[in-house]
Amino acid sequence: MERRSFIKTTVGAGLALNEPGMFASGSTGKGGKLLDNLKKEVCAVIDDQAARVVDVVKDVGVHPELGFKEFRTSDLVNDFLRSSGYDTGRGLAITGIKTKLKNESSGPNIAVIGELDGIICSESSWADKETGATHNCGHNTQIGVMLAVAQAFKMSGVASRLGGNISFIAAPAEEYIELEYRSELRRRGELRYFGGKQELVWRGAFDDVDAALMVHSRGNTPHPFVSVFNVSMGLIAEMIRYIGKTAHAGVAPEDGINALYAAVQGLTAVNALRETFRDEDHNRVHFIITKGGEVVNCVPADVRLEGMVRAGTVASMQQLLEKTERAFRAGGDALGAATEISRLSGYLPLSCNEKLNQAFAENARRLIGDRQVEYVDFFRVSTDMGDITHLMPAIQPMVGGVEGALHAANFKVADYTASVVTPAKIVATTLIDLLFDNATSLKSITEQHRPILTKQAYFDLLDSFFT
């Protein structure tokens, strides 16, 4: 993984909030001093209200909910925003929330996003005993970042001295899981797409948004740290069903068609493809068996798998999908089972805006020091934030403060200041840079940015994934 820093690594520790020149940004004179003061005012509120925000983060952390089911979490976030002076819109993409800093504004609008859902990790000591849900991806900390920033901009009163606007969006269902459940929601017309941000785009929540940013926890990094990313893998999901013929497994197995063996042959054929993967495509293929049969003493006749293919570009994702589908069909053919394959709309690769990344990294450098900021060209995960980056300038840096690996049982928040409070300051000061002087910087970014996809082309692409 290639890494390069935005800045020279000659400065060690980060500067304290009250050190002179912390927010110089190369500015001098009256304008530069005003910019510094705005940043200090917002950061002071974040510090003052940190305990309240962390309480919410901890509450969400011990009450994890899965995608499109985050009703308690949504209530908690909504109550916090309303108590901070916001009018909120609810029920977006089932559980999502959106609000704005200013009721009336002109100029560009940038969204700060937090994710409501957890992941299934039953081995975690924090897991919900019934659902296996945890926040072992740190979504509760990023909700905290969003809330801290929203509260600080209201309480500090800096909005009147900034151009443009800020939207705060609590998005459901980033984790791409429980595909049968989401398929049923789609069949009932309650859902069109399987990712929360995708559904929010479809429902119009991003129609008035010109740019977006969100931070995410960085695994195995218990101290303050920021990784700024360029691109990542996208994914397309599949659901495979093998239909065989049931028979008594002891008396007459020859009368049956074993759908489980067909699945095993299909998975073996997929694994045989791995040596054809090119390094530059960043291919990944992973599947689980969600149904292996009914009872042991009957030949299994209905076997189902869920999985996904990942790659660094849409073209390589589609090519990999064709390969795996041929392999899965070969498994069915080998055993004489019927093979049904359903493609599901996946996530597009991240394509982050360079100037937004630079603004974020510069503010991170001032808060935590040069050596704690890195630039990573390729990010080996998939997220529906990639979809947002195809439509507008957007970024998703990762931040420290947690121990253990993402989605693993050993994941836990090690330092709430590093994982919530400091990232909130970085986000807030970046927003002030972008919106200062009548939002001159953000206007420049949005005017120069050329979206990868129009909104209609985006929906056409997502729809093409479904079969």
pLDDT tens, position by position, 172-196: 999 999 999 999 999 999 999 999 9
The answer to whether 113 and 213 have CB atoms below 8 angstroms apart is yes
**What pLDDT was estimated at residue 4?**
36
Task: Please check the confidence at residue 259 and state whether its pLDDT lies above 80.
Answer: yes
**19-33, 219-233, 252-266, 444-458: range with lowest mean pLDDT:** 19-33
First to last CA, the chain: 35
The answer to whether 14 and 423 have CB atoms below 8 angstroms apart is no
Considering only CA atoms, which of 127, 97, 102 is closest in space to residue 113? 97
Banded pLDDT at 379 (limits 50, 70, 90): confident
The residues, ordered by sequence, that sit 6+ positions from 66 with a Cβ below 8 Å of its Cβ are 117, 118, 120, 131, 133, 175, 177, 178
Banded pLDDT at 29 (limits 50, 70, 90): low
**What pLDDT was estimated at residue 24?**
41
User: What does the block give as tokens for 323?
Assistant: 């390969």
Q: What is the tens place of the pLDDT at every residue in 325-358?
A: 999 999 999 999 999 999 998 999 999 999 999 9
**Which one has a higher pLDDT value, 31 or 221?**
221
**C-alpha atoms less than 13 angstroms from C-alpha of 138 in its C-beta half-sphere:** 34
**What pLDDT was estimated at residue 467?**
79
Q: What is the tens place of the pLDDT at every residue in 408-438?
A: 999 999 999 999 999 999 999 999 999 999 9
Q: With pLDDT > 90 as the criterion, what percentage of the chain qualifies? A: 92
Averaged pLDDT for residues 281-301? 96
User: What does the block give as tokens for 260?
Assistant: 């489980």
Q: CA angle 266-269-275, nearest 5°?
A: 150
Q: Write the CA distances from 265 to 200, 262, 276, 346, integer angstroms.
A: 39, 5, 18, 25
**What pLDDT was estimated at residue 165?**
98
Q: CA angle 15-401-346, nearest 5°?
A: 120
Strand partners, 257: 245
Task: Please check the confidence at residue 444 and state whether its pLDDT lies above 70.
Answer: yes
DSSP code, position 348: P
Rounded to 10°, the helix 50-62/139-156 angle is: 150
CB-count exposure of residue 375 (10 Å: 0-12, 13-18, 19+): buried
**What pLDDT was estimated at residue 30?**
62
Mean pLDDT of the chain: 93
C-alpha torsion 353→358→360→363, nearest 10: -170
The residues, ordered by sequence, that sit 6+ positions from 311 with a Cβ below 8 Å of its Cβ are 233, 234, 281, 282, 283, 284, 317, 319, 320, 349
**What pLDDT was estimated at residue 166?**
98
Averaged pLDDT for residues 118-139? 96
The residues, ordered by sequence, that sit 6+ positions from 411 with a Cβ below 8 Å of its Cβ are 121, 124, 134, 136, 137, 138, 219, 402, 403, 404, 405
Q: Write the CA distances from 12 to 8, 9, 347, 353, 418, integer angstroms.
A: 11, 8, 38, 27, 17
Averaged pLDDT for residues 245-254? 97
**What pLDDT was estimated at residue 244?**
98
Q: What is the tens place of the pLDDT at every residue in 82-105?
A: 999 999 999 999 999 999 999 999
Q: How far apart are CA 273 and CA 321, in angstroms?
A: 12
Q: What is the tens place of the pLDDT at every residue in 145-172?
A: 999 999 999 999 999 999 999 999 999 9
Task: Please check the confidence at residue 285 and state whether its pLDDT lies above 80.
Answer: yes
The residues, ordered by sequence, that sit 6+ positions from 201 with a Cβ below 8 Å of its Cβ are 387, 388, 391, 455, 458
Instruction: Write down the residue that tokens 């919530």 correspond to.
Output: 420
C-alpha torsion 200→203→205→210, nearest 10: 90
**What pLDDT was estimated at residue 32?**
85
Task: Please check the confidence at residue 18 and state whether its pLDDT lies above 80.
Answer: no
Give all domains of the chain, ordered by start, each with its CATH number.
Answer: 26-230+351-453 (3.40.630.10), 234-347 (3.30.70.360)
Banded pLDDT at 42 (limits 50, 70, 90): very high
Q: How far apart are CA 278 and CA 237, in angstroms?
A: 20
Q: What is the tens place of the pLDDT at every residue in 300-314?
A: 999 999 999 999 999
Confidence (pTM): 0.91
Instruction: Write down the residue that tokens 């910087």 correspond to.
Output: 441
Task: Please check the confidence at residue 15 and state whether its pLDDT lies above 60.
Answer: no
